[in-house]
Structure 1
Amino acid sequence: MNKSIYPVKYHIMRMSTVFSLVFPKNKRILFLVRLFTPHIGGVETHVSKLTEQALLDGNTVRIITSQYDPILPYKSRFLLAGNPHLPTDNLFIYRIPNVPLNDSKISITQKVYLRIHVWWWMVRHIFLFLRADIVHIHDIFWWYWPIKIIFPWKKVYVTFHGFEVGSMPTQKAKRVRKLITFFSTGTVAIGAWIAKWYGTKSAIVLYGASDCKVSSARKRSSSILSAVFIGRLEDDTGILAYIDAIKKQKNIQLSIYGEGKYKEKIIRETKKSKNIVYEGVTTDVCTALQQADIACVSSYLSIADALALNIPVIAYATDELKKDYLCSHPAHGSFTIVESKNELESVLKNWKISKKKRKVVSAQNWVKKNTWKYIYLQYKKVWGFS
């Protein structure tokens, strides 16, 4: 362009080019998450779906996670299934070696070594933080402390996903959450219950989403009801209560998917049972739920999957915290919450599939609104760009 003929237009275009270089539309996003795919879990799914949406939006994503299994590569790309058009050239996963799968069972000496090891890894990879426009941490803020000390002015965001399994929040846990909130630019809470139990307020409260679609090939048996449990085989999911209650029901078949401390016990019990089967672990929750008449689930993502498939949900509240967790869900009126084994047995004994189906239908507006794209747009609001 001849700048002598079009001086104003020339300078506007020049300034536009400079502005786009200084403030690029596409961002470089860095996620920190303790476990990531191929490990299976709610946080892993949440970050995976969020990454997928960020890539579709034209951003570059880097993920720092743990190399919990030595077979996993230190650095790799991740091809997100079902989306062949994703720009995976813009995605890299960095794994911190020698990080145990469960760090709650190691000694104090090992915990001290683990912290030094992780912090030193962060310092050696400080270039990842320097290049990032957005740093977002999913629960494990302690990984980030060295970077926070070196660059106290750098913006950092946090998502609080859950609670300490097996116990009520301690005063120490509450103080840590408040400290993290203080040092964060913005926070996201997975559930409104977090504000009550930890005393922290977040900019955005989310409950997850689902990609499940109802299949036209679904078939139902008029005599035997099919129930599916998906989740961790731990106390807080109510798995033992589901098993005890369904054992007494001759017209219900229970399929169990998951892992946890009760895995071996459940395998032994299911060998003796005619109506309870342990299926192992599944990476395809939608398919596992597709043919179910009842979803025995109590996590936000599994509840969202069941509601998306129009499957009635029975969620077991093992304590007051879990009750608040379930009751704070915007669609909690569309599923059944039980608080004891006797109540669970009574609900199953008097189960009316048509009545429960009508209850699930009322959640469809919530399901349609809460897509993973919607979740990503909420994150963009927290980050301050749209």
Structure 2
Amino acid sequence: MNILFLTRFYNPHIGGVETHVERVSERLINRGYKVTVITTKFRKDLPSQENLNRVSVKRFFQPKVKYVGLLYTWLWLIKNIGLIKKSDIVHCHDVFIWYLPFKFLLPRKKVFTTFHGWEGVYPIGQKNILLKKMALRFSDGNIIMGEYLEKHYGIKGDVVSYGAVDLPKKFLKKKKRLIVYLGRLDDDTGLTVFLKTFPKLRGFQVEFCGDGPLRGECEKYGYVHGFIDPKDFLTKATFCLAGGYLSTLQALANKCVTFVAYNNPLRHDAFGLAPFSQWITLSNSSKEISEKIKYYSREANETQIMLNKGYDWVKRESWKNLVRSYLKIWRLGFPKKLYRK
């Protein structure tokens, strides 16, 4: 059975959606499926096609010009329509607009969508709401990453998920005063709240795993490593300041005391409505965050109980279970005989 994923970015680009698509693809291949990923060529040195861990990756150049980029995408897909025709399932990751013409060119082809998140701008633009509702209307099934999308976009998910995470193979002794920030260095991740927190903390070491427009501000308080694998930092850090869902799950999996900052109602609901909300500190107050960091530094027993409960929850959010969610929605459009594997 041939699966075709459409996604804006893919490995070696680093991000939550990229990891999501890669891990799901690998596990589908282990089940006997064939997976092709169509994505953008975000660097000139990347090959137009290659196999990465048995995933067939097809890349195209997308001009960064409004409307021109979309038109170019449509033309490339029409030129390569054979990739769509030979696929049993087409699944879009936030980029249903890429597939829109083919809903009419190939009306019998089943297409599905995963809604990964918001666009980083609040209030939400009416255009973005309409695009999600259009994708919902024309998709044969969908997964939404977080209950907040239903509330703020008025869309209904066939499956509500919060992603998955790789569990550490072993736990190392934590550095009590090490803080790691994980995510893009931008305002829409709540980073500005954390930047106001650091002056209130003395004697703490801060490391940043990420990059973005606020890099210069972050360098005033700690070392910025850029987008790298955060595994080594999470195993050592006592505290993690998380920018998104994946970084939050990674922090809980590594038993880090986890903080998420918000600066608008949507971001508050994104984490406040999540099932892991009781094991993180969600705040828009730099004072509250600094006081909680100091508190958890003192109260070792209470902190460990919270960390264990967060870990017990996140270890159930496996990639295996996430793949089952994909198979579940695909069954909406295909007979069960296709799912014997």
Select the residue among 26, 29, 42 that pairs with 1:52: 26
Aligned to 2:101: 146
5+ long unaligned stretches in structure 1 = 1-26, 80-87, 104-109, 271-275
Q: Does 1:338 align with 2:283?
A: yes
* Contact preservation (8 Å) 2:97, 2:131: no
Aligned to 1:374: 321
TM-score normalised over the length of structure 1:
0.82
Separation of aligned partners in 2, 1:336 and 1:258:
21
- CA 353–52 in structure 1, closer or farther in 2 if over 3 Å, else same: farther
Alignment of 1:283-322 (within 5 A): 284-322=229-267
Q: Does 1:240 align with 2:192?
A: yes
* Contact preservation (8 Å) 1:158, 1:187: yes
* Contact preservation (8 Å) 1:334, 1:361: no
Q: CA deviation at 1:348?
A: 2.6
5+ long unaligned stretches in structure 2 = none
For the residue of structure 2 that corresponds to 1:166, the secondary structure is: coil
For the residue of structure 2 that corresponds to 1:77, the secondary structure is: strand
Aligned to 1:9: none
Select the residue among 98, 121, 137 that pairs with 1:166: 121
Letter in 2 for 1:242: F
Separation of aligned partners in 2, 1:230 and 1:346:
20
Q: Does 1:78 align with 2:25?
A: no
Alignment of 1:250-329 (within 5 A): 250-267=202-219, 269-270=220-221, 276-282=222-228, 284-329=229-274
Q: CA deviation at 1:214?
A: 5.2
Aligned to 2:58: 94
Letter in 2 for 1:281: F
Q: Does 1:32 align with 2:6?
A: yes
Q: CA deviation at 1:92?
A: 1.0
Q: CA deviation at 1:129?
A: 0.8
Separation of aligned partners in 1, 2:198 and 2:304:
20
Aligned to 2:38: 64
Deviations 1:192-224 (A, max 9, x none): 1100000000110111111131534x2245xx5
- CA 75–183 in structure 1, closer or farther in 2 if over 3 Å, else same: same
Aligned to 2:150: 195
Q: CA deviation at 1:317?
A: 1.6
Q: How many residues align?
A: 331
Letter in 2 for 1:316: A
Aligned to 2:130: 175
* Contact preservation (8 Å) 1:34, 1:65: yes
For the residue of structure 2 that corresponds to 1:280, the secondary structure is: coil
C-alpha root-mean-square deviation of aligned residues, in Å? 1.6
* Contact preservation (8 Å) 2:239, 2:258: yes
* Contact preservation (8 Å) 2:122, 2:264: no
Deviations 1:178-201 (A, max 9, x none): 111111100100001100000000
Q: Does 1:350 align with 2:324?
A: no
Q: Does 1:383 align with 2:313?
A: no
Deviations 1:25-44 (A, max 9, x none): xx100000001110001100
* Contact preservation (8 Å) 2:254, 2:311: no
Separation of aligned partners in 2, 1:353 and 1:259:
32
* Contact preservation (8 Å) 2:7, 2:37: yes
Aligned to 2:173: 219
Separation of aligned partners in 1, 2:67 and 2:129:
22
- CA 329–257 in structure 1, closer or farther in 2 if over 3 Å, else same: same
Aligned to 1:17: none
Between 181-190 and 252-261, report the one with greater CA deviation: 252-261
- CA 314–124 in structure 1, closer or farther in 2 if over 3 Å, else same: same
Letter in 2 for 1:252: F
Separation of aligned partners in 2, 1:248 and 1:343:
10
- CA 298–114 in structure 1, closer or farther in 2 if over 3 Å, else same: closer
Highest CA radius of gyration, 1 or 2? 1
* Contact preservation (8 Å) 1:298, 1:326: no
Q: CA deviation at 1:246?
A: 2.1
* Contact preservation (8 Å) 1:139, 1:161: yes
Separation of aligned partners in 1, 2:280 and 2:299:
12
Identity, in percent, stands at 31
Separation of aligned partners in 2, 1:294 and 1:67:
35
TM-score normalised over the length of structure 2:
0.92
* Contact preservation (8 Å) 1:159, 1:189: yes
